[in-house]
Chains A and B, each alone.
Chain A
Amino acid sequence: MKLQGAKKVHYDSGPNMTPLVDITMVILIFLMLAGSFNTLEHYLVSDVPLQAKGVGSKPPEGTVFPTKFTINVSEQGPEYIVKAGNFVSVKDTDPRRACDQLQAQLKDQYKNFKDAGVKMDDVQIIIYPEQNVTLDGLVPAFEAAQNAGFAKVGFGLNTK
């Protein structure tokens, strides 16, 4: 006896897409798992060479020397101390909080430079960290200087 429901229906409606879908799904899952998008990282860029005695060569005749001012960073026990030129001195246990204050002062200084007609491309900030200062303590100072508007931020080596 033949059952009506058991009748096999055959469809001829173009190519069989099942293998294509299988392969594309596998490729999709692979790409989603293997891809690294690097969206969680970024870079703090410095175009200013390290300032140290005895490094580099004699500048050519007629070289325009940049206006520089320094930021000294040190850590004494739990205290994080940052001094910029002779106008800012901040002491705090939290480097971020200290550098927020530094940034506000640097913004004022940036405005002063501009008002005085200084070409901002010629202004460099050189950060002089103490030997024991960690990268985690350096980055906020670097950020504060760049956030205040100074594009050229570099590092210097304390020779003492």
Chain B
Amino acid sequence: MPEIREGGVNVTPLIDIVMCLIIFFMLVAKIGVDTGADRNIDIPTSILGTDIKDMGNTLVLNVVNGPSGVPDPQPIVTALVKGQMQELKLRDFYNGKTQDQLLNTLKLFREGDPTLKMAANPDFKVVIRGDKSLSFRFLAPVLMDCNLAHVKSFAFDTKQPA
């Protein structure tokens, strides 16, 4: 039987507390969960607001004003699609055909695609992370595409007042 001698610092309470803190941070922190939200966008402030629990069931659309001084200006919409940040053009002319990238993406998320192993998700929501200077002329086409894709619910991302 080895002789046990008292001495040094008892680190047991320290380890207990540190372990509790690690478990807390692991449960609360959302590490590595990228929703595609562009943190550079200055979102509006609102007092009212709810928390979306199921962020995995959403598509975050970063929307900013399009260029001015051009005919038929379009908003600049970016989103995380298939793990990559992409610009989703509302009307994109390719090979003489019009491609509604935003509308097609919204339909893809909602209706799914068996070839891409994406299941249909009728309850999928859109989160609009719009710049506070975003004018309604640029927001309206985005809302229109959500409507055309039969997205049931959308939400505006806002920050709480300081």
CA distance A44 to B50 in the complex (A): 7
- Chain B CB within 8 A of A32 CB: yes
- Chain A CB within 8 A of B28 CB: yes
Q: Between A and B, how many residue pairs show CB distances below 8 Å?
A: 155
Q: List the A side residues contacting B147 at CB < 8 Å.
A: 49-50, 52, 55-56
Closest CB in chain B relative to A22 CB, distance in Å = 11
Residue-by-residue, is B43-63 near A (CB-CB < 8 Å gives 1, otherwise 0)?
111111111100000000000
- Chain A CB within 8 A of B136 CB: yes
Q: List the B side residues contacting A27 at CB < 8 Å.
A: 22
CA distance A51 to B153 in the complex (A): 14
How many residues in A have their beta carbons less than 8 Å from beta carbons of B? 48
Asked if A11 and B7 sit within 8 Å, CB to CB, the answer is: yes
User: Which of B44, B127, B136 counts the most chain A CB atoms within 10 A?
Assistant: B136
- Chain B CB within 8 A of A134 CB: yes
- Chain B CB within 8 A of A131 CB: yes
Closest to B132 in A: A136
How many residues in B have their beta carbons less than 8 Å from beta carbons of A? 56
Asked if B153 and A45 sit within 8 Å, CB to CB, the answer is: yes
Q: List the A side residues contacting B136 at CB < 8 Å.
A: 129-135, 138
- Of B5, B29, B133, B148, which one neighbours A37 at CB under 8 angstroms? B29
Closest to A25 in B: B18
Q: List the B side residues contacting A31 at CB < 8 Å.
A: 22, 25-26, 29, 31
Asked if A44 and B156 sit within 8 Å, CB to CB, the answer is: yes
CA distance A31 to B125 in the complex (A): 29
Q: List the B side residues contacting A146 at CB < 8 Å.
A: 48
Asked if B152 and A47 sit within 8 Å, CB to CB, the answer is: yes
- Chain B CB within 8 A of A92 CB: no
Asked if A135 and B134 sit within 8 Å, CB to CB, the answer is: yes
Asked if B11 and A135 sit within 8 Å, CB to CB, the answer is: no
- Chain B CB within 8 A of A12 CB: yes
Closest to A155 in B: B143
Asked if A46 and B155 sit within 8 Å, CB to CB, the answer is: yes
Asked if B2 and A12 sit within 8 Å, CB to CB, the answer is: yes
Chain B contacts with A in 113-161, Cβ cutoff 8 A: 125, 127, 130-137, 139-140, 143-144, 146-148, 152-160
Q: Which residues of A contact B (CB under 8 A)?
A: 9, 11-13, 17, 20-21, 24-25, 27-28, 31-32, 34-38, 40-47, 49-50, 52, 55-56, 129-136, 138-140, 142-143, 146-147, 155, 157
Q: Can you list 11 residue pairs at the A/B interface with Cβ under 8 Å?
A: A11-B8, A13-B7, A20-B15, A31-B22, A36-B29, A40-B160, A41-B159, A44-B49, A52-B144, A52-B147, A155-B143
**A-B pairs with the 3 shortest C-beta distances?**
A35-B29, A42-B49, A31-B25
Q: Which residues of B contact A (CB under 8 A)?
A: 2-8, 11, 14-15, 18-19, 21-22, 25-26, 28-31, 43-52, 125, 127, 130-137, 139-140, 143-144, 146-148, 152-160
